[in-house]
Structure 1
Amino acid sequence: MFESAELGHAIDEETYAREVPALREGLLEAQYELKQQGRFPVIILINGIEGAGKGETVKLLNEWMDPRLIQVNTFDVQTDEELARPPAWRYWRQLPPKGRIGIFFGNWYSQMLQGRVHGHFKDAVLDQAIDNALALEQMLCDEGALIFKFWFHLSKKQMKVRLKTLQDDPQHAWRISPLDWLQSKTYDKFVRHGERVLRRTSRDFAPWYVVEGSDENYRSLMVGRILLDGLQAALKAKTRRIPQPHVAPMIASLDNRGLLDSLDLSQALEKDEYKDMLAVEQARLAMLMRDKRMRRHALVAVFEGNDAAGKGGAIRRVAAALDPRQYRIVPVAAPTEEERDQPYLWRFWRHIPARGKFTVFDRSWYGRVLVERVEGFCEPADWLRAYGEINDFEEQLVGAGVVLVKFWLAIDQDEQFKRFKEREAIPFKRFKITEEDWRNRDKWDDYRAAVGDMVNRTSTSIAPWTLVEANDKRFARVKVLRTINDALEKAFAED
C-alpha cells in the first residue's frame, strides 16, 4: 500500500508558486460555502510517520484557510478526566459542528497503532479497535459528516535522513521529539501494522489518502487538492449521503405489542409495606454508592415510559437516597441548536459520568426509535440504523465499567387518562400536562409497537431492559430502586 508513496515525487518552486493562489482561493470559497450551508461537518484525521510533515501541512492549511472556522485537536496521553470514561468519549466531545472543520491529531488510529506496535495488546484487540473505528466513521458519515483520512509517509531511509538533518541543525534540533526517535526504532512494525489498519479501514464513505512526505511542495498541493475536490463535490450534492439501515427490515407479522400486554399491571403495595421497602432499598443504594468498589464504576440509569407513568416520582425517590454531589439528572427534551449541529448521540456522550458518579437520563437516546419514529421527525433509514448505533454505544459504556440500567415504566390507557385528569385538576401539577400529551394518546398503538421493537432490538445481555409495572406508583418506585441495587451488586461481585 505504501510503495507508491516512496517514488520521490517533487514539485519545483515555479509550479508550486503558480498553483497555490488558485488553490487557496478555492479552499477559502469552499470553506465559506460550508459555513453558509451548515449542512455537514468536515473531519480530517492526520496520521502517519513522524517527520513526514503532518504538523507543517496542518499549519499551512490554517494559513491558506480561515483558522476561525477550523478547530485542531491533539490527543496525546489520556487525562484523568478521559481515563474515567469510555475511550470514545474524548473524541465525541471534540467533534466539529455542522459548517466547521475539525482536524484530529493522535486520533483513534494513532492510539490503536501505538498500542499494537509497543505490544500492549495482540492482533485480536487491534481488530476489535478497527471494527469500532469503522462503526464510528460509518455512523458519522450516515449523520452527514465528510471525513478525510491522511497518512503521511516516509521511507525508512528518508526518515533517518530527516532526523539526522534536524539533529545537525541547531535552529531546528528542538523539533525532534522522543516519539520521533522511538518510531525510528519501531519503523518496520509501525508500517506493517499501519498497512493492516489502512487496508481494513479505507472505505468509500471514509477513504485513506497516502501522502508522500519527503517533498514539502508536493505534499502541500496534494492535500490541498484532495480537500478542495472533496469539499466541492459534497457542497454541490443535494445530500451528503443516503443513510442505509444497518439492521434487517421489520418483519410485518411480528406482533411485539404482546410484550407489554404480558405485564401484570395490577401489582401493588400497601402504604406501610411501601414505606418499609422503600427505606430498605434507599439505604441499600446509599451504601452501595459509598462502597470503595464504586470507584471502578460509573452508574447510568435510563428512564423511559408512557406519559404520566411516574418517571419523575421514581427518579425523586432514587435521588432522595443520595448526596446531591453523587448524581446528576439530565432531562432530555427537543435538541438545542447546538445539539442539532452534531451527530445524534453527541448530546448523550457529553453527559456520561466519571467513575464513582451517577447520571440519570429522564428520557434518553431512545427518543430516536420512539417519538422521532412515531411522529415522523426522522426518516425510517435513520431510526432503523439507530438500533445498531445504540447497541454499539451501550456496549462501549459497559465495556468501560459503566453499570447501565434501562427502565420502561408501563401503564394502561385507563390509568393514564385518570392521571391526566388529576393533573388538570391540581394547580401545582397542571404544568405536567400539555396538549401534546393528549394528542399522543391518539397514537397509543403506534407507540406500543415502537416500544416492542425497541425492546426486541436493544435488550441485550449486557444492557437489558427492565419493564416496570407502573399502574401502582409505589410498586414501580421500589422495583426501580431494587433493580439499580441488584445491578450494582452484580457488577461489584464480578470485579
Structure 2
Amino acid sequence: MFEGSKIGRFVSKEDYRREQSDLRTELLVVQRELRQNKIPVMILLAGIEGAGKGEVTNRLNLWLDTRHVQTHAFWDETDEERARPRYWRFWRVVPARGEMAILFGAWYQDPIEQRFRGLCTDAELDMELARIVDFERMLVQDGALIVKFWFHMAEADQKARLKALSRDDRSRWKMLPDKAKFSQHYQEFERIGERVILHTDRGISPWFLVEATDRRYRDLTVGKTLLEAIRTRLDQTDAMEPSASGRVLGLPDVATAQVTLIDQLDMTLALPQAEYRSELKRLQADLNELAWQAYKAKRSTVLVFEGLDAAGKGGAIRRITGAIDARLFRTIPIAAPTDEETAHHYLWRFWRQIPRAGYITIYDRSWYGRVLVERVEDGLASDAEWRRAYTEINLFEEQLAEHGIILVKFWLQVSQDEQLRRFEERERVPYKRYKINAEDWRNRERWPLYKPAINEMVTRTSTEFASWNLIEANDKCYARIKVLRLLCEQIKKGLEQGPVSVRATCGARRIDSKSGNGRAATEPEPPGA
C-alpha cells in the first residue's frame, strides 16, 4: 500500500513559489464559500512519525484565514477528559457549520498507539476502527467534510528526519524520551497503518496518502488535495451517502394490528397517599446513599426523561433531586436548540453535558427529540436524518455504557383523557398556567402521528445497555414511586456489576469497579491485581 509514498517525488523552489501563489488565492475563495454554505470541514493529519504534520499545519494556517480555523492536538489526556467517555474530547472540538478544524491524529491516535505498544489485539483494533467509520459517517451525513491525510516516507528517510529533529531545540521530538522506538519498529508501524487505512478508507471519508520526504511536494499536495475536496463538496447538494430505506412496518389498517407497546400499559394503576408518603421517604433515603456510593466509586449516572406533555416528568425529577446532594447533579432542560447548537450535529449539545466521573446529569427531554418531535413536525428533520438517528443514538448510548456510566431512561405515559384534564387544570390554576401553551394543544392534536413514533423509538433503542422504563403515569403518586424504585434498582445493579462490557476496543476506557480509576480497556492488569 505504501510503495507509492516512497518514490522520491519533489518540487523545486521555483515551481513551489509559482504554485503556492495561485493555491493560496483559491483556498481563500473556497473557504469563504464554505462559510456561506455553512459546511464544516475537518482536516485529519496522521501517519508515520517525523513526517512533518506540524509543518503542514503551520502551512495551512498561513494559507487559510486563521480566524475560522482551529487546530487541536491530542497528545495528552486531561483529567477532565479521562473522567468521561473517549469521544467526549472529539465532540467538543467538532467545528461549527462553516468553520474548519485541523486535528492531529484525532480519533485514530489512541488506537494506533495502543496497538503499536501491544496493549490491544488486531481484532480489538478492528472493532474500534468500525466505530470510527460509524462516527465519521454520522458527521458526514450531517453535512461535514472530512479530509484525511496519511503522511509516509521510506524507512531510511524517517531515520534521517528523526535524527535531525532530535537536535532541533524547536522540535517537540527533543523532549520525547522514547522517540527511538518509531524508527526501530518501522515495519510494525507500517503494518498497523495499512490495517487502519484498509478498514477506514470509505467513499464518504477517504484517506489521501502523501509522500512526505520532500517538504515542498508534501505541502503543495496537501493544499491542492484539500482544494479539490472542498470544491467537490461545494458542488454536492444532497447527503453524502444515500440514506437507508425506511424501516417503518406497513401495518394492516385494522385496530388490533396497530397495537403499540404503550397501549399495553395498565393506566389504572394507582397508589394510596399513605403508602406513597412512606415509600417516598424510604426510596429517597436509599437514593441519597446510592448517589454518594456512585460518587465514591467514580461512576457517573445519566437520567433521561421523556414522555407526553403533562405526563409528570418535572414532578418525578423533583422527587429525585430532592433526595440527592445538590453538588452531585445537574438538570438539563432541553428546549429548541440555540443558534450555536444548530450549527453542530444534533448530538453535540448532549455530549457537552455528559457528567464527569461520580456525578449525575438529568436530561428533561433529550436526544430522542430527533425521532419524536423532529420526526413528526414538518421542517425540523428530513426523512433521512430521523431514520438514521436510531443507529446514531444506539452508538452514542453504547459508548456511555462502555465507559461505565449508569444510563437510565424513563418514558412517562398518560391517557388522552388524563392529559386533557391536566391541560385544563393548568389553564385554570394561576400558578400552573406557565406550564401550558398553544404548542401543547397542537401536539395533542397530532397524537396519531406521535403514537407510532413512540413505539418505534422504544422498540429500536431499548438495548441491553440502555433499556427503556415505561411508566404508567395517570396517577402521579404511583409514577413517582415507580421511577424512584427503578432508579435505585438500576444504580445498585450498576454499582454491583461494574461497567457494561459492550465490546473491547483499542482506545476505549472503562472504570475499575473496585477503585473507580479510569484506565485503557485493553491495558493489562497491574501486578497483584
- In structure 1, how many angstroms separate the alpha carbons of the residues matched to 2:450 and 2:162? 63
Contact 2:304 2:366 (C-alpha < 8 Å) held by counterparts:
yes
Matches within 5 A, 1:196-345: 196-239=195-238, 241=240, 243-245=242-244, 249-253=247-251, 257-291=259-293, 294-345=296-347
Structure 2 Cα separation of the partners of residues 134 and 30 of structure 1: 27
- Alignment RMSD: 1.5
Q: Tell me by how many angstroms 1:248 deviates.
A: 5.6
Alignment-mate amino acid for residue 301 of structure 1: L
Q: TM-score, normalised by structure 2?
A: 0.90
Give per-residue Cα distances to partners, 1:166-203, cap 9 Å, x unaligned. Answer: 44x56667654425323122222111011001011000
Question: What pairs with 1:400-415 in structure 2 (closer than 5 Å)?
Answer: 400-415=403-418
| Residues in 1 aligned to 2:386 and 2:346: alpha-carbon distance in whole angstroms | 11
AA of the residue aligned to 1:211: V
1:434 aligned partner: 437
The letter of the residue matching 2:109 is S
Shift of 1:304: 0.4
> Sequence identity of aligned pairs in percent?
47
Distance 1:298 1:170, change over 3 A: closer
Instruction: Tell me the distance in 2 between the aligned counterparts of 1:151 and 1:281.
Output: 55
Residue deviations 1:389-431 (CA, integer Å, cap 9, x gap): 1001000000000101111100000000000000000111111
Please point out which of 364, 382, 385 is paired with 1:362.
364
Contact conserved, 1:163 with 1:176, CA < 8 A, in 2?
A: no
* Aligned residue number for residue 447 of structure 1: 450
Per-residue Cα deviation, 1:129-165 (whole angstroms, up to 9, x for no partner):
1011000000000100000010011211111111233
Which residue of structure 2 lines up, in the alignment, with residue 422 of structure 1?
A: 425
Matches within 5 A, 1:100-139: 100-139=99-138
Q: 1:378 aligns to what SS in structure 2?
A: coil
Aligned to 1:60: 59
1:9 to 2:12 alignment = no
TM-score by length of 1: 0.97
Please give the alpha-carbon distance, in whole angstroms, between the structure 1 residues aligned to 2:493 and 2:486: 11
* Structure-2 change in CA distance of 1:93 and 1:184 (3 Å): same
CA contact (8 A) 2:5 2:210 kept: yes
- 1:99 corresponds in structure 2 to 98
Aligned partner of 1:22 in structure 2 is 22
1:241-292 Cα shifts (integer Å, max 9, x gaps): 35512x7621112856431111001111111110000111100000001116
> SS of 1:361's equivalent?
strand
The match for 1:351 is: 353
Whether the aligned pair in 1 keeps the contact of 2:260 and 2:452 (CA below 8 Å) is no
Deviates more, 1:172-181 or 1:182-191: 172-181
Question: Does the CA contact (< 8 Å) of 2:294 and 2:495 recur in 1?
Answer: no
Letter in 2 for 1:305: G
In structure 2, what residue type is equivalent to 1:13?
A: K
1:462 aligns with 2:469: no
Q: In structure 2, what is the equivalent of residue 77 of structure 1? A: 76
Please show how residues 153-172 of structure 1 align to structure 2 within 5 Å.
153-167=152-166
Secondary structure in 1 aligned to 2:203? coil
Offset of residue 239 of structure 1: 3.7
Whole-angstrom CA distance in 1 between matches of 2:239 and 2:98: 13
Q: Deviation at 1:344?
A: 1.2
Which amino acid is the alignment partner of residue 466 of structure 1? N
The structure-2 alpha-carbon separation of the partners of 1:196 and 1:428, relative to structure 1 and needing over 3 Å to count, comes to same
Moved more, 233-242 or 368-377: 233-242
Q: Is the 8 A contact 1:256 1:452 kept in 2?
A: no
Q: Secondary structure at the match of 1:258?
A: coil
Q: State whether residues 243 and 382 of structure 1, in contact with CA within 8 Å, keep that contact through their aligned partners in structure 2.
A: no
- Say if 2:294 and 2:300, in contact at 8 Å, map to a contact too: no
Q: Confirm or deny: 8 A CA contact 2:168 2:174 kept in the other structure.
A: no
Paired with 1:115 and 1:193, the residues of 2 have a C-alpha distance of: 11
Contact 1:234 1:240 in 2 (8 A): no
Aligned partners of 2:484 and 2:165: how far apart in 1? 63
Measure the CA separation in 2 of the matches of 1:156 and 1:238.
43
Q: Compute the displacement of 1:237 (Å).
A: 2.6
Gaps of 5+ in 2: 499-529
Q: Which amino acid aligns with 1:253?
A: L
Provide, for residues 298-329 of structure 1, a one-character-per-residue CA deviation record: whole Å limited to 9, x for no partner: 10110000110000000000000011111000
Superimposed CA distance per residue, residues 22-69 of structure 1 (whole angstroms, 9 cap, x where no aligned partner): 00000011111211222x200011101111111101101101111111
CA distance 1:454–1:326, shift in 2 (3 Å): same
**Take 2:165 and 2:94, find their aligned partners in 1: how far apart are those partners?**
34
- Name the CA distance, whole Å, in 2 between partners of 1:195 and 1:85: 30
The one-letter amino acid paired with 2:478 is F
The number of aligned residues is 492
> Which of residues 377, 387, 391 in structure 2 aligns to 1:384?
387
Letter in 2 for 1:131: A
SS in 2 for 1:409: strand
Return the offset for 1:16.
0.9
Gaps of 5+ in 1: none
Measure the CA separation in 2 of the matches of 1:294 and 1:124.
34
2:146 alignment partner, SS class: strand
* Partner Cα distance (1:6, 1:424) in 2: 75
> Shift of residue 332 of structure 1?
0.5
Q: 1:117 to 1:242 in 2, by over 3 A?
A: closer
The counterpart of 1:487, out of the listed 486, 490, 495, is 490
- 1:156-195 aligned within 5 A: 156-167=155-166, 175-178=173-176, 180-195=179-194
* Letter paired with 2:494: A
Task: Rate the CA distance shift 1:389–1:256 in 2: closer, same or farther, 3 A.
Answer: farther
Q: Name 2:44's counterpart in structure 1.
A: 45
Partners of 2:239 and 2:269 in 1: how far apart? 51
Residue 515 of structure 2 corresponds to none
